[in-house]
Structure 1
Amino acid sequence: MRHLKSYFAAILLASACTASAQEALRSAYFLEGYNYRHELNPAFAPERNYVSFPILGNFGVGLNSNVGLSTFVYPINGELATFMHPDVSANEFLGKLRNVNHIKEELDLTILSFGFRGFGGYNTFSLGVRETASFSLPKDLFTFMKLGQDGPTSHYNFKNIGVNANAMAEVALGHSRQILPQLRVGAKLKFLVGVADFNARISNMDVTLGDEKWSVRADGEVNIAAGNGLKVPTYAESGKHYDNPDDANLIDWDNLDYDSFGLGGFGAAIDLGATYQLHPDLEISASVLDLGFVSWNNAVHGKTGTTSWEFDGFDKVAIDKNSPNYDTNNFDQQLENLGNDLEDAVEFHRLSDGGSRTTGIGATITLGAAYTAPFYRGLKGGVLFTQRINGVHSWTEGRISANVTPVKFFDASINYAISTFGSSFGWIINIHPKGFNLFLGSDFQIFKVTPQYIPVGNINANLQLGINFTFGSKPKKEVLKPLLPSW
């Protein structure tokens, strides 16, 4: 059991310290001078034609989680210790957790992007790389890790433990146009080249710890794809020792190999968006992003075993060091074997190798409304709702913002969000005179850290910057007749 707990703890701490580049800033959704609004809604058109500085056109680092590093690491006697330390009380640790704990990191790196007016509207092109990794971990899992057997019998049930990671390259072509004085629509077609995909999920796991018997029953599956260079051997193929013939097709993670690069699959997706001017002072908008799929080749599929693992005590423990079976039957060795056997309770049997598998890439819905202050046209209030739909890795966010454009070449936003990952403060400064664009901003800001510089509360932080070159003139804005009564 010590090994199983350590395994989960290692995953947790590693993921809680991960950082990555992020998608377009939602803090800039209502800033007309921000060149990458079309990534949030393809109906949006930048003010001018533009071309990005390679790689630095839209780049940043960040991480989202509804738990913090301070949830898992504690100062003990002047040093840092994990939540498994005996001096960290169970009540203190478990009181910081949610029923479902999410950790998400994303990379949406724009290598090159440009946009121009033509063909009756505005056109965009982008070449980029996207990578996502997310973890969904129920609170009961941590209760088991911290408390173990608490009393004569302890029963734990974990549902929807999920780990998902994938990487792919993307080429996107977008077009938006005004089809009515009040209505603008846009669409973006994305061609996807899959690099790697890993998805593991334990849909249900029962653990019973008693004085007379321990038992574990897990129901889960794993899917892996990374091109023809990926080798996922079984115990039998790698020559690893196993006692039960049913274990011959267990996946041997220790001998996983990747000997040559190969494309993992191909796919496509579409973004759709629209904006509607209800009133000269009020605009509403909506978009659906990443409606698509990737078909993975050389895919490996595995499932957990159909029988439960049971342990009813140690067998003939050798106490005397002179005993002929001491090396294999002493208490420490039997405890080690117990840990290894318990890990096997959540091992995966490889059921297929070299097949194909089609997956969705997770869709995002955005709904926005912006109101321009009649007493000062440079001030705009905004409300943005975002819903990510991706199974157990889904999340929701609501964001309110105040956006200001004091002069034509400068705009900024401050905003506040409440989401699956907690609350956050966002901001952006955007400088965009003719010929040049520089922006710096964040959707998530950390304000409080411990003396050891560990963030207090949830880890929600990012910082994003971009350098782009603009050309051409701004289009003249048409004065619209209000569809709603003036107020």
Structure 2
Amino acid sequence: MNIKTTPKRNLKVLATLLLGIAPMAMFAQFNRTTFFMEGVSFKQQLNPALAPSRGYVTVPFVGSINMGVSSNAISSEYFSDLLNSSKTADYFTTDKFINQLKDNNRLNMSLASDLAAAGWWAGDGFWNVNLSLKLDLDANVKRDVFEFMRASRGMSDQSWANANLHTNGMQAKINSYMEAGVGYTRPFGDRLVLGAKVKLLFGIADINMKVDEITMQTNLRDIAANQDWSTITEEQLQKVKGKATIKARAEVQGSMAGLTFVTDNNKYVDNMDYSGSGGLAGFGAAVDLGAAYKLGRDFTLSAALLDLGFISWGQGSTIKGVSDFNRVYDFDGVHAGEHRQEFRKTIESGEIFNSDLWNLKAEESKSRTTSLRTTMVLGAQYKLLEDKLTVGALSTTRFGEVNTQSELTLAGNYSFNRHIGIALSYSMIQSQGTGLGLGFKLGPVTLATDYMYFGQDTRTISGMIGVSIPMGNSH
């Protein structure tokens, strides 16, 4: 197999695309707390059968913005370090960080923003339209990835004389698109309500990175057992003897207008280039389906399936690179000096996206089709005190290629009148026991969170703001 030995295979552009926009992207494409609030149109985001009693029009660009971030292990104190992915990062060297990790460490972010939306009653049915931007980021990083990084800083219990480090790594995926939807809700009799929304999708980006294996074996002499390769001096480096081997298997596949590989004559990837031209890279369609059934005047059950759909990405906007890398570094041979420098540069980095380990080779681009993250929603609610108080439970499950997220939320809402209401919720799965939520309706403005912030150790945070102006009479 041909191995490319040029100095650097820099995929920093990929890291930027995957994580640089992540501060905008949060784990909250919908808000659960508002699901039980009266006079709020946003509950249709979770079930198209739940029409509000009045029509509405949202304020452009701030009609509904949901944002948040969630991890099963990593606290918010370290989110910015992970997103920056800097070569000089050292957050992973702290005992506090490493002690909180699990074998699989999930990081989920998403954004949903209604750029424009409106709804109205026409006869017995309720129509609604929306133009929205959606973005998802999912990542799953094994604990041994960070142990691998710590070893490069001299923090492993293995000696460089006979180190054998291995990880089967990580996967990260980012997906962004715009949707234009038309929905319709209609009651059938006094108990059953059905709703559906048909959506056209305009693909902005879909990038998937997967590292299947990284293995490093060393048999070195004249080096400290726990040498930090980021601080090794030239004098110390030149004394190192022996051999080291790095094996890596990885794949990068993405679709985005203006995104290309920069390759050498053998199609090995030197870099990634983004022209910044913008534009759409794919098109697709999806549907939301929902139903609500009244068991009595005050008790309602509901169910929905959201985002049943796909996006087809064009060949001209798609790239694919595959790595099957096996590199031997000989510190005793003719090229010992070159191999020492390359080995140091390969392992000293504090980047999770350390592309020097991968040696990607570009493959012929082809059109591709990806599915959306489908969500299943089950709800139950009961009204008390002449409909002023609503209590209920909500189960949501988002299915994903990298991670599947489930949540169970208990909530209560009290409406003082049709303009003012307050809701309190508790979400018990994603929050590590701190999932308190709060919502306020003050006229046309709704503010809510499913996961309040409780300091730097908080692992799940979310926020929602919406401005929706009621239109027409109550139905």
Task: Normalising by structure 2, report the TM-score.
Answer: 0.80
- How far apart, CA to CA, are the structure 2 residues paired with 1:469 and 1:121? 20
- How far apart, CA to CA, are the structure 1 residues paired with 2:210 and 2:424? 38
User: Cα RMSD over matched residues?
Assistant: 3.3
Residues 1:39 and 2:68 aligned together: no
- How far apart, CA to CA, are the structure 2 residues paired with 1:312 and 1:23? 51
Residues 1:462 and 2:471 aligned together: no
- How far apart, CA to CA, are the structure 1 residues paired with 2:253 and 2:18? 23
Give the Å deviation of 1:209. Answer: 4.7
2:431–2:451 CA contact under 8 A, matched in 1: no
Q: SS of the counterpart of 1:249?
A: coil
1:172–1:190 CA contact under 8 A, matched in 2: yes
Residues 1:68 and 2:80 aligned together: no
Give the Å deviation of 1:329. Answer: 5.1
- Counterpart in the other structure of 1:360: 371
- How far apart, CA to CA, are the structure 1 residues paired with 2:18 and 2:368? 31
CA deviation digits over 1:187-243, x for unaligned, max 9?
A: 11010011222111123444445556543333332212123x33323222xxxxxxx
Residues 1:439 and 2:446 aligned together: yes
In structure 2, the CA distance between the partners of 1:415 and 1:330, relative to structure 1 (3 Å rule), is closer
1:71–1:457 CA contact under 8 A, matched in 2: no
2:439–2:447 CA contact under 8 A, matched in 1: yes
Quick check: 162-171 or 404-413, which moved more?
Answer: 404-413
- Counterpart in the other structure of 1:417: 427
**Which amino acid in the other structure matches residue 333 of structure 2?**
D
In structure 2, the CA distance between the partners of 1:17 and 1:146, relative to structure 1 (3 Å rule), is farther
- Counterpart in the other structure of 1:351: 363
2:170–2:211 CA contact under 8 A, matched in 1: yes
Q: SS of the counterpart of 1:311?
A: strand
Q: SS of the counterpart of 2:269?
A: coil
In structure 2, the CA distance between the partners of 1:209 and 1:441, relative to structure 1 (3 Å rule), is farther
- Counterpart in the other structure of 2:23: 18
Give the Å deviation of 1:304. Answer: 3.0
Residues 1:231 and 2:260 aligned together: yes
> Which stretches in structure 1 are left out of the alignment for 5+ residues?
75-79, 237-247, 319-327, 449-454, 476-487
- How far apart, CA to CA, are the structure 1 residues paired with 2:199 and 2:19? 32
Q: SS of the counterpart of 1:18?
A: helix
Query: What is the 5 A alignment of 1:28-427?
Result: 28-66=34-72, 67-71=74-78, 82-85=90-93, 88-89=94-95, 92-118=96-122, 120-148=124-152, 149-152=156-159, 153-159=162-168, 161-209=170-218, 211=220, 213-227=243-257, 229-236=258-265, 248-254=266-272, 256-258=273-275, 260-297=277-314, 298-315=316-333, 335-336=344-345, 343-353=355-365, 355-373=366-384, 377-420=387-430, 422=432, 423-427=434-438
**Which amino acid in the other structure matches residue 446 of structure 1?**
Y
Give the Å deviation of 1:54. Answer: 0.8
CA deviation digits over 1:415-462, x for unaligned, max 9?
A: 111234534211111134xxxx211111221123xxxxxx2231x223
- How far apart, CA to CA, are the structure 2 residues paired with 1:330 and 1:349? 21
- How far apart, CA to CA, are the structure 2 residues paired with 1:467 and 1:294? 30
- How far apart, CA to CA, are the structure 1 residues paired with 2:50 and 2:209? 37
Structure possessing the higher relative contact order (Cα contacts under 8 Å, 6 or more residues apart): 2
In structure 2, the CA distance between the partners of 1:84 and 1:279, relative to structure 1 (3 Å rule), is same
Q: SS of the counterpart of 2:194?
A: strand
Figure out how many residues of one structure are paired with residues of the other and give that number: 426
Q: SS of the counterpart of 2:184?
A: strand
> Which stretches in structure 2 are left out of the alignment for 5+ residues?
1-7, 82-87, 221-241
2:264–2:270 CA contact under 8 A, matched in 1: yes
Give the Å deviation of 1:122. Answer: 0.7
In structure 2, the CA distance between the partners of 1:97 and 1:457, relative to structure 1 (3 Å rule), is farther
Quick check: 272-281 or 216-225, which moved more?
Answer: 216-225
**Which amino acid in the other structure matches residue 395 of structure 1?**
Q
1:17–1:69 CA contact under 8 A, matched in 2: no
